[in-house]
Structures are given as structure tokens and as C-alpha cells.
Amino acid sequence: MKFSNFLFPQADTPDEDGQVIDDTLAEAILCDELGMEALWLAEHHFDGNCAYVDPVSFAAALATATKQIKLGFAVAQMSLHHPIRMAEQLAMIDHLSKGRLIVGLGRGTSHNIYDYRGYGIAPEEAQERLLEAEEIMIKAWTTENYEHKGKHWNLWLPILRPQTYTKPHPYMIRASSGEASMVDLARQGRPFLMNVQTDDVTKHRMDLYRKTMRESGFDDAHVAQMVDESWVWRNIFIADTDAEAERIGIPLFEAQREQRAKMRNRILAERGESMAKPGEAGIAPAASAARNVIEHSLICGSPATVAEWLAKIDAIGVGGIILQFRVGPAPYEVTENSIRLFMDKVVPELGKKAAA
């Protein structure tokens, strides 16, 4: 199982944006120096839940600030991007990073109506925009004299420049927040990114993913490769002891949960608009929303405890795990300590378990 860091830094007020962005850049460089597999970038707008906001521009910065770590999107909200502009930008980052880019795409947020309002996009168009944009980007990277006539874009271009560093185009992966979309990707024989789910749901979906690919005619080698290229997400907080981790980490997680609901609640109160499913409009977690439940979303404890927890996820059979180390308003020094404990103590322990 591969390990990566989800750079998803919240800034509670606009005055904090600059410092949090600086901290996140330092966090990325640290992970690169320590030999972590990948960094993942989020995209959220107008609420401080992701301080750098734009994964494309931040990935360009990281491409020049890091040396070996892969740079992925988890995810770019394609309903908010023009596909040709995106194809040009990603081709540039592909060159800057010398092929370290992972193009993770998604339809757009399922939670924040204001992301769509700010860009003048109807949320009900998000999925079809994603599918059309993905097709355009691939063709733009690989086709000269390309013309497209679709529902949302009509365009022609002689040739995209710069051409991509990676041939035929940068590596692509798509997010799947629901089981149905995951099954659809399995039928296509494609890897996927899973959002925060319980361990039981994670196991169910991975078993179904493998089963669906086999039933769709893919051989064991392809199934194994796609599983190896798929990733699941958890929050993580590590301290020297379980008690210290819980004392510090749980309040940070609760503050994160509250911050992520703050703007949704404000928009609901002021404008009467919400994308929340029943029971999810407020701060209180819905029983079905694993991302809001500490015992499902947050791996918290000493290095030994965290290693045991991750070994159970590894046994499910996933290719990689996306770990959000900076939880809520955690100071950089606290996040750095958690990352160092993970790389110095947790990863070697997991290696011993795998060899046993």
C-alpha cells in the first residue's frame, strides 16, 4: 500500500490565508524530502476550507519546489474549468514536474452550492461537463487540427502547445464518491479515488470493484494493476502516545468539521440554498456520512496504534491511501511532527507486518 499526503489546509479567516499557504508549501517540501509517494491537492472556493483554492496554480508551484514526489489532484472540479485552458496548464505542469503529474478529475462538489454560484455554473450540469471536458482534454493532447462540437463547448484548435511531457498524455484518474460511479469505472477498467468511507464500506466497494472488472472481461493482471492504482482517503493524527493524540487530534478534527459546514450553514440561512442531503445541512454529522464521524474518518493514535489501523486497511486490498495530516487548524509544527512520526515509525512498522 502506497502512502501520500492530502494537502487540504483550512484557513479560518482571510488574514490567515497567506501563512497557511506558506505552511502548506513547507509541508509539501518536507514530504518530498522524506520520500513520500505523492501529494494530493483539493479544490474548494470562497470558504477558506482549502487555503490555496486552485490546485492547478499550486501544483505549478510544487512542481518547481519539489524533486521526486508525485503531484495529484483529488480532485480538480472540472465543471468549473474550461477544458482547453486546463489542457494547456496541465501540459505545462507535466513539463515542470518531468512527468510527476496525476490528473485527478471530478464532477464538482456535492456539498457547496456557492462553488457553482460563484462560477455561474448550474450544479445539475456538473457530471455532463466533466465527461465532455475529459474527452476534450484527451483529444486536445493527442490530436492535431482538433474540432469538437458538444453540448457545452464548440471549439477548434490547430495544435495544443506545449505538447505534453508524458506520452500520450499525463496520467488520469477519476474520483468516485458513490458506489454507482465506482461500478461504472470498474466496467471501463479504470482506477478511481474513493472519498472517506468506513472500513466496512471500503472493503465492500473494493470487492465489488474487482468483481465488476472481472465480469466485464478484464483479466487478473489488469484487475490487480487497477487496484494498485486506486486510492482511498482518511484523516490522520499521530503523537507519541494514544492519549496525547486524542487530546490534541480530536479537537482539531471537530474544528475542521465545524469549519467545513460553516459557509454551507451561512448560505442556507441567508439565501435558503443548500446541496445537503437530508440530515447533513448542519454541523451535526449524519449517520451515513463517514467523513464527519471520528471513528471512521480519523486515524488517531501513537505510531503503534496507527500502524495497526493501517494494516487493517492494507488487508482490504487498496493500492494507496491518501492521508490528510494537517487536521483542521493544526499549526505547522504539529503537522510536521505527525508526518515525521509517520515516516520514521509507522512506515517501518508496516513494512515489518507485511514481511511477517
The tally of domains found in the chain comes to 1
pLDDT of 281 reads 44
pLDDT of 277 reads 64
pLDDT of 276 reads 73
Does residue 291 lie in a domain region? Answer: no
For residue 165, the one-letter residue type is Y
Does residue 73 lie in a domain region? Answer: yes
CATH number at residue 59: 3.20.20.30
pLDDT of 290 reads 85
pLDDT of 284 reads 39
Does residue 226 lie in a domain region? Answer: yes
pLDDT of 113 reads 97
pLDDT of 353 reads 74
Does residue 150 lie in a domain region? Answer: yes
User: In the chain, which residues have pLDDT < 70?
Assistant: 277-288
pTM of model > 0.85: yes
Q: Cβ of 219: how many Cβ atoms within 10 Å?
A: 11
d(CA 44, CA 108): 9
Element at 29 (helix H, strand E) = helix 17-34
Does residue 273 lie in a domain region? Answer: no
pLDDT of 278 reads 54
Query: What cell was used for 145?
Result: 487540427
Does residue 162 lie in a domain region? Answer: yes
d(CA 203, CA 243): 29
Does residue 284 lie in a domain region? Answer: no
With vertex at residue 288, the alpha carbon angle to CA 285 and CA 293, rounded to the nearest 5 degrees, is: 45
- Spatial neighbors of 169 by CB under 8 A, at least 6 apart, are 137, 138, 141, 142
Does residue 180 lie in a domain region? Answer: yes
pLDDT of 181 reads 95
For residue 44, give its domain range.
2-260+297-355
